[in-house]
Amino acid sequence: MAGDDYRQEPRNAGKSCRLTIDLPDPWDAFGRLAREPFFFLQPGTDGGWRVALRPVQVEILRPGNDVTSFLRIWERLTADAQRISGQEPETGPLSPIIGILGFEAGAWFEPFPRRDRIRRSFPDGVLLLYDLFLDWQDGIARITSFGPGRSGQDAGRARRRARALLTELKRASLSPRPVPAGLPAGSIAPIPPRGGYARMVEGLRREIARGDLFQANLAWPWRVRLHPRDQPFALFRRLVEASPAGHSALLRLRKDVLISNSPELFLATARAADGSIRAHALPIKGTARRAAEAGHDRHVAEALVASEKDRAENRMIVDLMRNDFSRVARIGSVAVPEMFGLRTLPNVHHLVSRIEATLAPGNGPAELMAACFPPGSVTGAPKPAALKAIARHERYRRGPWCGTLFRTDGRGELIASVLIRSLVLTFHRRSSSWRGNAFAGAGITILSDPIAEKSEIEAKMQMIAGAVRARTARRMRRP
């Protein structure tokens, strides 16, 4: 153990315990913890990892909610985070709130017909308040545990919980459990749209030609089945090691596991020195499959940046999100400092733009989320017409895919990703295996070619498919 620092914050209501432990390779420890309900794992912006577990409050959001109830629940959890942490808004760590809004939760903010042809147990939304979490960076894990009140008994509880987690981490790192090598691969296969994908694209293009809308994102579901001895956490590890993404995450509910390998930031906010809340978004619109040869790959990237179709899509979504931001921003503060920026991932190139704003007094992360959800980059323009077109053509429930996963606190800070490159797995007892659905989609405009759009979808699914179909490595650990 590198250190043991127990701190009681003076003048604060809560009591916290902070412990530090050397943890050179955290994967074995994370794997054991990942078996617990509501385990959360996400990379940080600095190369580290954030883990949260054993939440003190769980809010499951079902159909029938609306924007008012959503804002009320968010406000209550934010107040509870400050109460549990016992911190003034400007000082010390706060208990994190982790949330998911599935795509269908968008009907709370932008009404559109719902489709539930593919059944899922995953709820429309989940909000989780944690008082036990750890941050891992450069071989060191820092555990934070909060007591829920003022008494010394609460402080002692925080210390015991932190020490128990530290003991678990040490045990897991010292006694990893190997998995037999060479397990057969899992399977993943597309579910063909009714009438074929080309017919779906052509139908939407006719609507665009009539002037009903400019663009819409159409999804294509894929069935996923893991080998009975494979686990979601092992799949997540294979995925992030093959394709690091800035917003990868794993969240386990009671029956389901969400795995995200998303590269896209939806919304981010932070409180400035003058007390105002600054917000920005980085929508992705425009994708090209990378080439193996370096010279050819440069040509692919240059062609993407110059593409009339992709630039038009990107500009549409930038204008859409400028409009969304303007609902809650100070007048005149919405700006676009970057357009058509190139971002390169292991398997694809993307076009990314940046929208910025300062929120108007009285508005915070919750109001920004309500103004912008569902994400424009995965719906279309105009958003209300695109949502109706999606419901007409897809005829199934997207679930978390193209929704958002976010982390927030009581200081006006928010990091929210778009849940692309993601899948949900549920354990099936009859087959003793994890099964679920993954999705990939493409933005359709009047210039879209069905063959090219299908190729783009396959490129986006490439890394998930590779991780699902991969045989287990000789040294892989079992979570």
How far, CA to CA in Å, does 340 sit from each of 282, 297, 355, 381?
A: 11, 18, 12, 18
Residue 287: which domain range?
A: 177-469
How far, CA to CA in Å, does 2 sit from each of 19, 23, 24?
A: 9, 9, 12
> What's the pLDDT score for residue 116?
53
Number of domains in the chain: 1
Average of per-residue pLDDT across 251-259: 93
pTM: 0.89
Res. 171 pLDDT band, cuts 50 70 90? confident
Percent of the chain with pLDDT over 90: 52
Strand locations in 75-146 (E): 97-101, 125-129, 132-137, 140-146
Please write the tens of the pLDDT for every residue from 410-427: 778 999 999 999 999 999
> What's the pLDDT score for residue 14?
44
Is the pLDDT at 348 greater than 70? The verdict is: yes
Average of per-residue pLDDT across 150-165: 73
Average of per-residue pLDDT across 78-95: 71
> What's the pLDDT score for residue 479?
36
Is the pLDDT at 45 greater than 70? The verdict is: no
User: Is residue 118 domain-resident?
Assistant: no
Q: What is the CATH number of the domain that holds 348?
A: 3.60.120.10
Res. 83 pLDDT band, cuts 50 70 90? confident
> What's the pLDDT score for residue 8?
37
The answer to whether 27 and 237 have CB atoms below 8 angstroms apart is yes
At position 21, the amino acid (one-letter code) is I
* 392: Cβ contacts below 8 Å, ≥ 6 apart: 113
Between CA 328 and CA 63 the distance in angstroms is 25
> What's the pLDDT score for residue 9?
37
Percent of the chain with pLDDT over 70: 87
User: Is residue 99 domain-resident?
Assistant: no
- Which of 8, 443, 472, 436 has the alpha carbon at shortest distance from 225? 436
User: Is residue 172 domain-resident?
Assistant: no
Average of per-residue pLDDT across 309-330: 94
Res. 318 pLDDT band, cuts 50 70 90? very high
Sign of the alpha-carbon dihedral angle for 63, 222, 425, 281: negative
* 31: Cβ contacts below 8 Å, ≥ 6 apart: 172, 233, 234, 237, 477, 478, 479
Weakest mean pLDDT among 3-12, 134-143, 366-375, 459-468: 3-12
> Rounded to 10 degrees, what is the CA torsion of 162, 164, 169, 174?
150
User: Is residue 165 domain-resident?
Assistant: no
Place of tokens 């059944």: 119
Assign residue 99 a region: left if phi > 0, alpha if psi is -120 to 50, beta otherwise? Answer: beta
The answer to whether 40 and 51 have CB atoms below 8 angstroms apart is yes
* 431: Cβ contacts below 8 Å, ≥ 6 apart: 225, 228
Output the average pLDDT for the chain: 86
Which span out of 73-82, 239-248, 361-370, 449-458 was modeled with the highest average pLDDT?
361-370
Is the pLDDT at 63 greater than 50? The verdict is: yes
Which span out of 77-86, 256-265, 393-402 was modeled with the highest average pLDDT?
256-265
User: Is residue 48 domain-resident?
Assistant: no
> What's the pLDDT score for residue 87?
58
> What's the pLDDT score for residue 223?
94
> What's the pLDDT score for residue 2?
43
CB atoms < 10 A from the CB of 332, how many?
A: 9
User: Is residue 45 domain-resident?
Assistant: no
DSSP string for 12-39: -SS-EEEEEEE-S--HHHHHHHTTSTT-
Helix (H) or strand (E) holding 325: helix 308-326
User: Is residue 447 domain-resident?
Assistant: yes
In angstroms, how far is the first alpha carbon of the chain from the final one?
A: 23
CB half-sphere exposure, 265, CA atoms < 13 A: 18
Name the 3-class secondary structure at 189: strand
User: Is residue 96 domain-resident?
Assistant: no
